[in-house]
Structure 1
Amino acid sequence: MKKIYKYMVLSIAAVTFSCNDAIEIEQVGRLGAEQAFETVSDLESGILGTYNNFDYTPSIQWESNFTDEIAIGPDNGGQGIGIYQWVVTPQSAASVALWTNYYAALNSANRIIEAAANITPETGEEADYNNVLGEAHALRAWAHFELWSYFTPDYLDANSPSVLLVNFVPGVSDQLSRSTSAEILAQVTSDLDRAAQLLQVTSDPTRVSQDFVTALRARVALYTQDYTTADAAAASLLGSYNLANQAQFTAMWDDADNTEVIFKLERSVGDPYDGQGSTGSAFAGGWAGANYAFVNPTVDGSPYFVASSDLFALMPAGDIRRDVYIDESAAPAYDVLPVGKYPGSGGQPLLNDLKIFRAADMLLIRAEAAVANNNLAAAAGYIDQLRDARYGSDQATPTIANQTAGYALVLQERRVEFAFEGHRYRDLKRLGSRASVGISRPSAECDVYGACTLASTDFRFTLPIPLVELDANPAITEQNPGY
């Protein structure tokens, strides 16, 4: 049921970090936690408002536009050209949007956690109380992880400067310096541990559950190359979630099937995200499909970004991903490749749920872990399993010659499977050098823009700390390299 976005709580729904400082958020006249939240029912409404602060469309926009997922479409009027040319500065929209969005979400989660400490549940309310508190801890972990993944230069260096650790509700006088990567990851782990103790629900595709916690643990471990933890977490989830067959896969992108969905952000007609967001900008928002087209996902729907021809070439006939990810109006000529992954639901074109964790993700985590352990046959088997599901028939098992080739194959399969879902930029950052892969666009799609190849080791695979934050917060004394 489309329910999450019906609830907006005055004390948290409008929370965002001010233009003066990402942590200066306690405004005069704002209701405090003790006034806004007095009962378990209040907490329940509040956590729904917290979900409302999470928006993944900026990630979808940024990771498509910057990398090799898209080409400039026929109806482009200048949208996203700077990003396509890899122009990234501390004033860039991506830097500001991702920073402020996730800190707003953190603030919402912190308010729930702080308020819950002052509420004693009535008899019979303990389970609901614990579940809401568990959701808040898990969502705080997710927000910190997303920030860490975009703004930390080195995922493997414990001392790498990272983001601001905000596990409380700051006041206007608070100014925080950057924490280290290890400190942020410790907070993520602590919150996931606490969530696992509290959550009462094992699985729910639209609410945080125990399975959400396990999936996030798997992704954190993947990024930090803790492949033992990543593989175990992914394997445990694959015991409960099957890969979608071709019919289910198609229905999943119409929001009509959750066979392999572990968690998604719901979107529905009339909610705050029902509208066209900032097109061609990492501020995005609104309909997910509006990241690529103005009207609808067809050839005639004013596509301003289209799928890269190189990406299209990786989806031959028979691969259901070709039919779903490229709108059917492109056939048979395929001279324009409109993105069809977000066709719309509820009668609204381009409006779809945002899939965050899927069974396919867990399978490819297992494949990458197998490559890391030099078990190349197992890695090939996992990839073959995914391809069999996507083609609807038995496919030849790929042959992997060595680890470099294995990482390249995993990266290629992730490029296809998670196209337009907000993964490619960070996948290239963490895996590109081991796979000897960077951004490489077809000359017809890049020559005129002077942006054809970019190494995955380029400094722009880490976002800069926003200038607006640096100007207002003297406690931050170090910008990311290259900026």
Structure 2
Amino acid sequence: MNKYIFLGFIALTLSCNEAIDIDQVGRLSADAAFQDVTDLESGILGTYNQFDYTPSIQWASNFTDEIAIGPDNGGQGVAVYSGIVNTGSAVTSSLWQTYYDALNSANRVIAAAELITPDEADQDAYNNVIGEAYALRAWALFELWSYYTTDYTDGSALSALLLNFVPETSTQLPRATSAEFLTQIDADLTTAAGLLTVDASATRVSQDFVTALTAKVAVYTEDYAAADAAAASLLADYPIADADQFEAMWDDADNTEVIFKLERAVGDPYDGQGATGSAFAGGWAGANYAFVNPTVDGSPYFVASSDLFALMAEGDVRREVYIDESAAPDYAVLPVGKYPGSGGQPLLNDLKIFRSADMLLIRAEAAASNNQFGQVNTFINELRGARGASTDVNVSTRANAFAAILQERRIEFAFEGHRYRDMKRLGPKAGVNVVRPNSECANFGLCEINNDDFRFTLPIPLFELDANPAITTQNPGYE
């Protein structure tokens, strides 16, 4: 009887396996989906489409000191403004999903390219697409590393999951170290640089994109010599915009100092309001602050912080661009005007990722690290002069130098998604905390956030912890 039962079990197992192993009609395998360079080109465009910077913009504004609760706020973003951050927060879920979707897409293009042998006439295009995929993978890894690593200068610090291959549905990865992430990012950027055939492009990955990302990685890890060299090389080709060019840049009409941006257009997948007040944002960048348009009457639910506004004196073009003109003359309400809209659609604008202004202030950081305070003054005042602001910055100590750089970054990159990570990196060096005006924070219980607060590193999201037993350690403060 046992023998018959065993034979019956074997037969049932084979039958089940045959049912599972059916090659479904219409299913596209990698070699079927990607057959030539044109298919790879479609694949890399799909990878670009996975990248969205609006969650970073929303999070940096809401958690730090860029905004205040606006007159038409109906509860949007109030929890984050009050400092509530946990494993189920929208920010950690959104950023995790966004960049792992991007990694998955880039990895699939890289894997598919191995199945294609291009014609000689297509070799350059083939190389460029693969180069784009490696560079985009490096960018996605950098974003994850920057949000989920406690200490950018500690190679042993745990980071996110190092996904550099096409995973199976059952793949479960442990957290990788910061050093492992940085090694992969460096390798991907080196590979990309050896393949890319495009030197410069505002809306596609190019050699200049690789150099800009190299500068960002280097300054985050305090490799100041490398950061300075990369930033200086870009400034030779991307001058700081003058006042007219600066205004036109935010109307998407000028790319003088744009090294790379994510293009947004009417009718594309990001043409919509998105999740207002949430780091699941998506949609129009300006919808991070208003429901209808960027004016006083456009239903602003977040407005610029009065302290930030006070840093932009009359004559500073940033005041004219970042605060909508409808706020004048009394400035009782400070609607965010940085994303006025384009193509006839209010609030819809390209997302600027790398600008020459960033490279100039990276050079200032490198100079501050070497106690070259005259250089720090020169770089900051050069930027301020181009913006029509006073050029009286004159620092003489490291702490003051980093504080001046941090303040200039607060002004220059307001509402662009930089402030959160800038405070994490530079706040301790400058001795500066996030401080909100009492009139804007008293009702929400969070008027100051120390620069070493654990919330300057995001938690591994709850859904990943629940699904992945290989993760055994959460970031401090969220255990």
Q: TM-score scaled by structure 2?
A: 0.94
Out of 248, 264, 275, the position equivalent to 2:272 is 275
Out of 54, 77, 81, the position equivalent to 1:57 is 54
SS at 2:282 equivalent:
strand
Deviation at 1:243, TM superposition (A): 0.6
Distance (whole Å) between structure 2 residues aligned to residue 185 and residue 34 of structure 1: 31
Structure 1 residue 403 and structure 2 residue 398: aligned? Answer: yes
Q: Would the alpha carbon gap of residues 30 and 149 (structure 1) be closer, same or farther in structure 2, given more than 3 Å must change?
A: farther
- Identity of counterpart residues, as a percentage? 69
Distance (whole Å) between structure 2 residues aligned to residue 415 and residue 274 of structure 1: 28
Residue matched to 2:15: none
Out of 91, 96, 121, the position equivalent to 1:94 is 91
Distance (whole Å) between structure 2 residues aligned to residue 222 and residue 36 of structure 1: 40
Residue matched to 2:18: none
Instruction: Give the aligned CA root-mean-square deviation in angstroms.
Output: 1.1
Deviation at 1:77, TM superposition (A): 0.2
Distance (whole Å) between structure 1 residues aligned to residue 267 and residue 56 of structure 2: 22
Whether the 8 Å contact between 2:231 and 2:363 is mirrored in structure 1 is: yes
Deviation at 1:173, TM superposition (A): 1.7
Deviation at 1:401, TM superposition (A): 2.5
Distance (whole Å) between structure 2 residues aligned to residue 31 and residue 471 of structure 1: 30
SS at 1:111 equivalent:
helix
Whether the 8 Å contact between 1:381 and 1:397 is mirrored in structure 2 is: no
Counterpart residue identity of residue 60, structure 2: E
Distance (whole Å) between structure 2 residues aligned to residue 371 and residue 422 of structure 1: 23
Residue matched to 1:8: none
Distance (whole Å) between structure 2 residues aligned to residue 136 and residue 38 of structure 1: 17
Out of 419, 423, 430, the position equivalent to 2:418 is 423
For 1:401-480, what aligned pairs fall within 5 Å after superposition?
401-480=396-475
Distance (whole Å) between structure 2 residues aligned to residue 434 and residue 294 of structure 1: 37
Deviation at 1:478, TM superposition (A): 0.4
Whether the 8 Å contact between 1:158 and 1:181 is mirrored in structure 2 is: yes
Distance (whole Å) between structure 2 residues aligned to residue 164 and residue 30 of structure 1: 29
Distance (whole Å) between structure 2 residues aligned to residue 214 and residue 74 of structure 1: 42
Residue matched to 2:291: 294
SS at 1:264 equivalent:
strand
Out of 165, 168, 171, the position equivalent to 2:165 is 168
Q: TM-score scaled by structure 1?
A: 0.93
Residue matched to 2:323: 326
Counterpart residue identity of residue 205, structure 1: A
Distance (whole Å) between structure 1 residues aligned to residue 82 and residue 343 of structure 2: 36
Out of 106, 110, 122, the position equivalent to 2:107 is 110
SS at 2:354 equivalent:
strand
Distance (whole Å) between structure 2 residues aligned to residue 108 and residue 438 of structure 1: 38
Unaligned 5+ segments in structure 2 are 1-23
- 1:31-66 per-residue CA deviation (whole Å, 9 max, x = no partner) reads 332121110000011111110000000000001000
Distance (whole Å) between structure 1 residues aligned to residue 392 and residue 360 of structure 2: 15
For 1:195-206, what aligned pairs fall within 5 Å after superposition?
195-206=192-203
Distance (whole Å) between structure 2 residues aligned to residue 179 and residue 30 of structure 1: 33
Structure 1 residue 391 and structure 2 residue 383: aligned? Answer: no
SS at 2:425 equivalent:
helix
Deviation at 1:30, TM superposition (A): 5.9
Counterpart residue identity of residue 191, structure 1: D
**Structure of larger gyration radius:** 2
Unaligned 5+ segments in structure 1 are 1-27
Whether the 8 Å contact between 2:384 and 2:391 is mirrored in structure 1 is: no
Counterpart residue identity of residue 121, structure 1: P
Residue matched to 1:120: 117
Structure 1 residue 345 and structure 2 residue 338: aligned? Answer: no
Deviation at 1:172, TM superposition (A): 1.2
SS at 2:188 equivalent:
helix
Structure 1 residue 232 and structure 2 residue 217: aligned? Answer: no
- 1:166-202 per-residue CA deviation (whole Å, 9 max, x = no partner) reads 1111001211000000000100000000000000010
Counterpart residue identity of residue 403, structure 1: R
Whether the 8 Å contact between 1:109 and 1:136 is mirrored in structure 2 is: yes
Residue matched to 1:145: 142
Deviation at 1:396, TM superposition (A): 3.3
Whether the 8 Å contact between 2:382 and 2:391 is mirrored in structure 1 is: no
Residue matched to 2:357: 360
SS at 2:363 equivalent:
helix
Counterpart residue identity of residue 420, structure 2: Y
Out of 365, 369, 377, the position equivalent to 1:372 is 369
Counterpart residue identity of residue 260, structure 1: E
The number of equivalent residue pairs is 455
Distance (whole Å) between structure 1 residues aligned to residue 253 and residue 317 of structure 2: 16
Out of 42, 47, 63, the position equivalent to 2:44 is 47
Distance (whole Å) between structure 1 residues aligned to residue 98 and residue 192 of structure 2: 22
Distance (whole Å) between structure 2 residues aligned to residue 49 and residue 30 of structure 1: 19
Whether the 8 Å contact between 1:243 and 1:360 is mirrored in structure 2 is: yes
Distance (whole Å) between structure 2 residues aligned to residue 160 and residue 228 of structure 1: 23
Query: 383-392 or 433-442, which moves further after superposition?
Result: 383-392
